[in-house]
Amino acid sequence: MIDWPLAELLPHAGDMILIDQVLGFDEEQIRTRLTVRPGGLFSRADGSLPAWVGIELMAQSVAAYAGCHARQKGQAVELGFLLGTRKFECNVEHFPAGSELQIHALRSLQDDNGMGVFECHLSAPGIQAVARLNVFCPPQADSYLNESPALSTGVQP
């Protein structure tokens, strides 16, 4: 179990932090968990979460993976982007209130430019979801976001 506060690992704030805890991580993977509770940002009237929120749970787990590695190296947590997902499959339409979801993200590709691919699995009794996430964490994300359109497209004003 990791004792670092999630707010120090994720570039999210308040109610947008959906995972509850980092259970463990290493060079290639991370394991996180969440207990589904009524009243959350994406909760349905019955307290459950729509299955599509699983993609965000997986993405936050990948962000926590990056945050853990940054923290371990004494670096600041950088902003990253979910570019897309492939093959999201889930055997349920929603995650019932009270379910304890376990999320596992395994890095399958990461290059020096910040592009990465993670194989993700979300599970609980009777629940299985899988997806491949494509992510991007550019070096010095702040300067990347503040770059003028002319510079990023090569078009001169």
107-132 confidence digits (pLDDT tens):
998 887 888 999 999 999 999 999 99
Token pair 């207990």: residue: 35
Q: Tell me if 1 is assigned to some domain.
A: no
Number of structural domains the chain divides into? 1
CA–chain centroid gap for 26, Å, is 16
Give the pair of three-digit tokens for residue 119. Answer: 């194989």
Which range (4-13, 42-51, 68-77, 130-139) has the least confidence? 4-13
30/151 Cα distance (integer angstroms)? 36
CATH of the domain at 63: 3.10.129.10
Which domain does 17 fall in, by range?
6-153
125/145 Cα distance (integer angstroms)? 41
pTM: 0.87
